[in-house]
A and B are shown apart, each in its own frame.
Chain A
Amino acid sequence: MFASCADPSSLEGLGWLLCYLTSGTHIAFYWSFVTVLVLLAITAPVALAFGFGGAVAARSSVWPISLLGRGYMAMVRGVPDIVFFLFFVIALDQGIEWMFHQIRCPDWTEPVRQGLEFRVCPAAKVPPGNAPQVWHQIYGFALAVITFALVFGAFAANVLLGGMQAVPRAQLETAEAYGMTQQQVFRRVLVPQMWIYALPGLSNLWLILIKATPLLFLLGVRDIVYWARELGSTKTSVYAYPHPDWRLYYFLALLVFYLCMTRASEILLGRLTRNLSRGQATAAGEAQRKAAGGVA
């Protein structure tokens, strides 16, 4: 990066450290933090949408739809999440390839599962075998996002269903008395009010989602854990910047990163809760009203 870094072996002290921390692989390491943030930014809304869909389905009066919603929520109960992470990635990958196999190679006669191997025709490979490396990485990342969203969506569905059920019944009955249809009650009364009840659960879920991001590493994405292991391990004098085993320091840096993320989220979510409580018929809303000098 800097001109002075051309010959690392001649450097010492701070100059060496500066060049070391700005080497090409370290820049990739810093970018992987962005990968984690991107994953969070994409997964959170997608999971929320999945959760909303699940909660609405579970409330449906049509029996099969309700069963589908409840089944989705029950899916993640009682089973370690990490099993889902390992399972979904392979299952999704094989499912997608199997589908393409059915579409693109209808006259392929050999069975797909041959003993220990899963073999689809070359045209059904996703991404295609000759695709550049970038596409493989993007595909892996997309699989990770879907997996995260599926698992966290089930949890969000649980929380949102609880929020919907917590909206005072009187509010909905009043809306019905005004002659609103079921859709109108749902859109104009239930959905705007449910968030304050769902927020504690959603905040908790967000904090858990942050702490789940190192599992990206298990899914084969080059995330911060991958780079911390790679960069921290012992480098012999063959490398430009030889050093002993520094993995501990890299992991401590990750620890600090996660603690900062958690703290910042806690502060922001606390502020959001205060803002959303304004004018709500909850204990927090009531306390705000009294503090503002409203009539008791």
Chain B
Amino acid sequence: MSCWETIGDYAFRSLGFGERLLPRSDFTLCQQVTLIGSGMIWNVYFGIVALVTGFFLATGLAMAKAARSRWLRKPAEWFIFVFRGSPLFIQFFIAYQIFVMLPRNGIDVFGMTVATSWTTKAWAGALFVLFLNTAAYSAEIFYGALQSVPKGDTEAADAYGMTGWVKFRKVLWPTMLRLAWPAYTNEAIFLFHATTLVYFSGFPAFQQKGDALYYAQYFADKTFNPFIPYPIVAGYFILLTLALILLFGAMNRRLNRHLAPNQRPKLKLRPQLVR
């Protein structure tokens, strides 16, 4: 079987298209690269969706944590502490257990039945956990940036008579993003790496539709040879990380375009480990 046929069979296997059976013997390098690459679709999906949705919640949480009102500040602080202080691994387990406990036939809300079975599926359940998790980590970064917005900027906004939403939208928010961006880039990289935990904790892979690490482990278990599949996963993630750095670097340049060239902060990759 040629490599092109293998790609045709397995390129979208993780989504359920193509050949149903996974290879069982005579594993070729092409099969491993294709299937693991197919699994990467899920890692990218989890990463992008969680990052984009988490961004908005994180902004809200950072504002709440910086708020003067106790009723806004305390819940935000607790939310951030719980999600940053415990392992993501445990968070996945707990979320899965809670979703499994939801009534199987759906919940009645004012006569309408809300289906619940989809929450136990990884695409929704794990995504929800990753969304909350990245929101908490990003919120802490945004909060730190919000605290270090230069005093002169806010005073200038006051002098122009800006208040409330306009002041936030025009002055606080852009500056906060600009200051937080290098740290936020690391958080994004870190989140993509964390997506590999999904199929290890709680959430089962239905019909062997899993992420990159799921297939890598499949091959490592079958061939008892870790020296091929894991470096393939590593290679894919290095490519993904490089793409992220390029993308976030471009955004960083845009956020800092009003500054003098020698004052623009550079992105510094400081990778972090397990969350």
Contact = CB atoms under 8 A, between A and B. Distances in A.
Interface of A: 76-83, 86-87, 90-91, 94, 113, 116-118, 151-152, 155, 158, 204-205, 208-209, 211-215, 217-218, 225, 245, 247-248, 251-252, 254-255, 258-259, 262-263
Contacts of A245: 97
B101 A248 contact: yes
Given A91-B226, A209-B273, A262-B86, 8 more contacts: A78-B242, A79-B234, A86-B213, A90-B226, A117-B224, A217-B89, A252-B94, A258-B86
B238 A82 contact: no
A33 to B, nearest CB: 14
Interface of B: 25, 81-82, 84-91, 93-94, 97-98, 101, 189, 193-194, 196-197, 200, 213, 216-217, 220, 222-227, 230-231, 233-234, 237-238, 241-242, 269-275
A247 B93 CA distance: 9
Contacts of B242: 78
Contacts of A263: 81, 85
Nearest to B98: A248
Contact of A78 (B97, B196, B200, B241): B241
Given A83-B230, A155-B273, A212-B274, A225 B89 contact: yes
Best-surrounded residue of B197, B220, B273 (most CB of chain A within 10 A): B273
A211 B92 CA distance: 13
A215 B89 contact: yes
Contact of A80 (B94, B193, B269): B193
Given A208-B272, A255-B94, A262-B86, A80 B237 contact: yes
Given A214-B90, A258-B90, A248 B97 contact: yes
Given A91-B226, A255-B94, A152 B234 contact: no
Contacts of A152: 273
Best-surrounded residue of A77, A80, A152 (most CB of chain B within 10 A): A80
Contacts of A117: 224
17 contacts: A76-B273, A77-B241, A77-B271, A80-B237, A81-B193, A83-B237, A86-B213, A116-B224, A155-B273, A205-B273, A208-B274, A211-B88, A212-B87, A214-B90, A245-B97, A262-B85, A262-B86
A83 B213 contact: yes
A65 to B, nearest CB: 23
A83 B193 CA distance: 10
Given A86-B226, A116-B224, A248-B94, A259 B193 contact: no
A208 B230 contact: no
Nearest to A262: B85
Best-surrounded residue of B25, B194, B230 (most CB of chain A within 10 A): B230
Contacts of A247: 93, 97
